[in-house]
Amino acid sequence: MLYALARALLFRLPPETAHRVTMRGLHAALAVPGVEALLRALTQAARPTEVFGLSFTNPVGLAAGFDKNVEHVAALAALGFGFVEVGSVTALPWPGNARPRLFRLPADRALINRMGLNNGGAEAAAARLTRRFPLPVFVNVAKTPDESLVGDAAVADYAATVARVAPLADAVVLNVSCPNADDGRTFEDPAALDDLLGATRPLCADTPLLVKVSPDLDRARLRDLVQLAVERGADGFTATNTTVQRDGLHTRAARLKAIGRGGLSGAPLHRRAVETVGAMRAWTDKPIVGVGGVDGPGTAQAFFDAGANLVQLYTGFVYGGPRVVRRIVRGLT
Ligand SMILES: Cc1cc2nc3c(=O)[nH]c(=O)nc-3n(C[C@H](O)[C@H](O)[C@H](O)COP(=O)(O)O)c2cc1C
């Protein structure tokens, strides 16, 4: 009820402003004595699990993109998440695309974003990662979207970030599937991924290294990518990133046209993402983090049934509010 009211107000604000206001409010509330304990009592749910040799109090995490600059991990831990993926972090600070770049599609319980990897860069992220956190923190790494960084320079850019954050992370996730940087998906090409893992796997030592894939790859290409990644030492996968597909939406065509390009997340992505996890499970027994349209116990369970070991959400948290994590954890079979 409370969140429904807060959401009605927040949804009157532009999405990025609402995000900022929410997180400021959460930090302010947590500074009041007793509030953190109260929030924990309302949101925590235990369902311990071990994946990648890490212990999780529950298998429901916050997906990349929500806390790009490692500013909110402790606050998010108080909302019941079992783990948080920060980033994407790029080697250099990056402003991202011009605003507006994030759009709500309430009729579809979805978002479209073309943020363009805005973040404060690897140095700033690393400085904040030196804190001790109460839950596993995955660090998502992307290439600085500077179009002059191609070939070996692009690999070196990723590697610089991985070298900086891997010793401070519980897991590193290579984002090779960002639809919002014009060159974002280059590393879905097997030869390029081969070079990328060759350069970054040795930098991770014991830190698990995951590859985050797109829901838009055709099956043969995805299979090649999974097999190559496993051969080159990847420890697991995250599936999926946002989609560029627009089929089956209830949002009016004129509105979609006005929004323009970007990655679609939330409910309309769910089936495609679950099918991607199911396909990948047939090719590898490495752990898979399922993400795309998780908004309750049923959508989370669908990922586990398809073979995922952990799940994450972003859009379902925006629409469902802070108690969604506990609802999911309690509803898993
Ligand atoms: C506003 C926004 C920003 C995002 N930024 C990133 C990012 O920086 N790196 C990344 O790997 N994924 C990013 N994502 C994708 C999410 O991590 C997730 O894969 C996708 O949204 C599907 O999950 P969902 O349906 O629960 O939102 C972003 C998603 C949204 C909505």
Report whether pLDDT(179) > 80: no
Give the pair of three-digit tokens for residue 13: 């604000």
| pLDDT of 182 | 59
Q: In a 10 Å sphere around its CB, with 0-12 CB exposed, 13-18 middle and 19+ buried, how is residue 222 labelled?
A: buried
Q: Which pLDDT score, from 0 to 100, does residue 183 have?
A: 56
Confidence bin at 21 (pLDDT 50/70/90): confident
pLDDT at 323: 87
* Residue at 148: amino acid letter: S
Ligand 1 geometric centre to CA of 264 (Å)? 9
Query: In which domain, by residue range, is 38 found?
Result: 2-331
For the segment 109-124, what is each residue's pLDDT rounded down to a tens digit? 999 999 999 999 999 9
54: β partners: 51
Spacing, Cα 234 to ligand 1 middle (Å):
21
Residue 258: CB partners within 8 Å, gap ≥ 6? none
**184, pLDDT greater than 60:** no
Give 69's DSSP letter.
T
Dist. CA 67 → ligand 1 center (Å)? 10
Q: Take residue 106 and report the two structure tokens written for it.
A: 């309430």
pLDDT at residue 185 is higher than 70: no
pTM: 0.97
**Quick check: 44 pLDDT over 90?**
no
Give me the mean pLDDT over the 214-236 stretch.
96
- For the residues 21-39, what does the mean pLDDT come to? 89
List, in sequence order, the alpha helices (H) in the chain: 2-10, 15-30, 35-43, 73-77, 122-129, 151-165, 190-204, 219-231, 253-259, 270-281, 297-306, 315-320, 324-331
- What tens digit of pLDDT does each residue of 280-293 get? 999 999 999 999 99
- Asked if pLDDT for residue 151 goes beyond 80, the answer is yes
Which atom from ligand 1 is nearest to the alpha carbon of 15? 1
Please give the average per-residue pLDDT across 311-319, as a whole number. Answer: 96
Q: What single string gives the DSSP state of each residue in 2-66?
A: HHHHHHHHHTTS-HHHHHHHHHHHHHHHHTSTTHHHHHHHHH-----EEETTEEESSSEEEPTTS
Q: What is the 3-state secondary structure (H, E, C) of 238-263?
A: EECCCECCCCCCCCCHHHHHHHCCCE
- Cα-Cα-Cα-Cα torsion 261, 263, 268, 274, nearest 10 degrees, comes to 150
Kindly state if the Cβ of 215 falls inside 6 Å of ligand 1. no
pLDDT band for position 148 (cuts 50, 70, 90): confident
Mean of all residue pLDDT scores within the chain? 94
Question: How confident is the model over 185-197, as a mean pLDDT?
Answer: 87
- Specify the CATH number for the domain of residue 207: 3.20.20.70
Number of domains making up the chain:
1
Q: Which among 211, 238, 265, 319 is the best mutation to test ligand 1's pocket, defined by most ligand atoms within 8 Å of the CB?
A: 265
Nearest in space to 236 (alpha carbons), one of 164, 284, 181: 284
